Amino acid sequence: MRTWPARAVVFFLLVPLTAAPSTSAQADARTCAKANLLFCEDFQAMPVGGAGSLRWGIDTKHGTLTVERGGRRGQKVLRVHTEGNGRAFLKVDDFAAPGNSFYGRVRLRAGAFPTAPDWAHYTLVEATGDGPEIVRPLGGQYAPPPHGGAAYWGVGADGGPTGDWTNWRPTAPSVAGTWTCVEWHMDAADNRISLWFDGVAKPELTVSTREHGGNPVDFVFPRFDTIKLGWQLYQANPTPAGYDVWIDDIALSSQRVGC
């Protein structure tokens, strides 16, 4: 798989963003008791141990999924572990969103992000369906000096006419060792992806039909039917050699769920 260094010019569009939900809505969003979600998993009803036979699908290569107690306030979470350039994903199959647009929310904590090789590329959320684009609303890339010398969050895609690209920014560092609530919005009206971290919008990461980091052609969503959450690294012999990510409170909805 090719990776791309930061381009000298990447176009993005600043747009008005949905206001954050109220405090009471945020409190209600902490569990899967909230109604009218397209998908929800907080792992509290799952048995501790290997996650190979749970009610959602899995996609692993050199990786494992394990339910364990290790989350905030001691609740159950999903531990994603991979070795090298492996992958391990929880997979939501037969997914359908009205109008092919939806919001997502996940809480996550990564043990580490790659520091080698140069331009090492990782994905935590991926959306696919009927259409060539493999859409990655949450991923990132390690940018070596003099481009930053750190790992940064980004939005990207692969497999379609726009090519293999990640729209990362040094204003959105991927920070290990701390819980982060990540929200995203897939808006089919303009093939737009927007992100929030801990309730704060990151408009510099926004991509859309004509404003993205790929080839100079339109970026067009597939008709989504599968959503994956976990971890994948694409380059061989990375540093560190293994990765752990803990995820919790997954929600997919037609409306913003909040943190």
In a domain, 159, yes or no: yes
Please report whether residue 18 resides in a domain: no
What's 252's DSSP letter? Answer: E
* Domain of residue 70, CATH code: 2.60.120.200
Six-digit token pair at 257?
A: 């769920």
Q: Mean pLDDT throughout 242-253? A: 97
Q: Is residue 199 part of a domain?
A: yes
Total of domains in the chain? 1
Q: Is residue 259 part of a domain?
A: no
Angle at 124 between CA 195 and CA 64, to 5 degrees: 155
For every residue of 148-214, which 3-state class applies, written as one string? CCEEEEEEEEECCCCCCEEEEEEEEECCCCCCEEEEEEEECCCCEEEEEECCEECHHHCECCCCCCC
Assigned domain for 1 exists: no
At 63-95, the pLDDT tens digits run 999 999 977 777 899 999 999 999 999 999 999
What is the model's pLDDT at position 104?
Answer: 98
15 has a pLDDT exceeding 60: no
Q: What is the largest CA-CA distance in the chain?
A: 49
Would you say residue 206 lies in a domain? yes
Residue 27 lies in a domain: no
Give the whole-angstrom CA distance, residue 59 versus residue 64: 9
Domain that holds residue 240: 36-253
Q: Look over the chain and give the mean of its residue pLDDT values, rounded to a whole number.
A: 88
Whole-structure pTM value: 0.87
Nearest-CA neighbor of 221 among 40, 99, 122? 99
- Residue 54: is its pLDDT beyond 50? yes
Q: Look at residue 28 and give its three-state secondary structure.
A: helix
Closest-CA residue to 152 (of 165, 142, 162): 142
Which residues are 207's β-sheet partners?
193
Residue 26 has what pLDDT? 41
Task: Write the burial class of residue 22 (CB in 10 Å: 0-12 exposed, 13-18 middle, 19+ buried).
Answer: exposed
HEC-encoded secondary structure of 76-129: EEEEEEEEEEEEEEEEECCCCCHHHCEEEEEEEEECCCCCECCCCEEEEEEEEE
Predicted pLDDT of residue 172:
98
Q: d(Cα 97, Cα 254) in Å, to the nearest integer?
A: 7
Angstrom CA distances, 123 to 89, 105, 127, 137, 257, stand at 10, 15, 11, 9, 22
Query: Is there a domain that residue 144 lies in?
Result: yes
Mean pLDDT, residues 5-10 taken together: 35
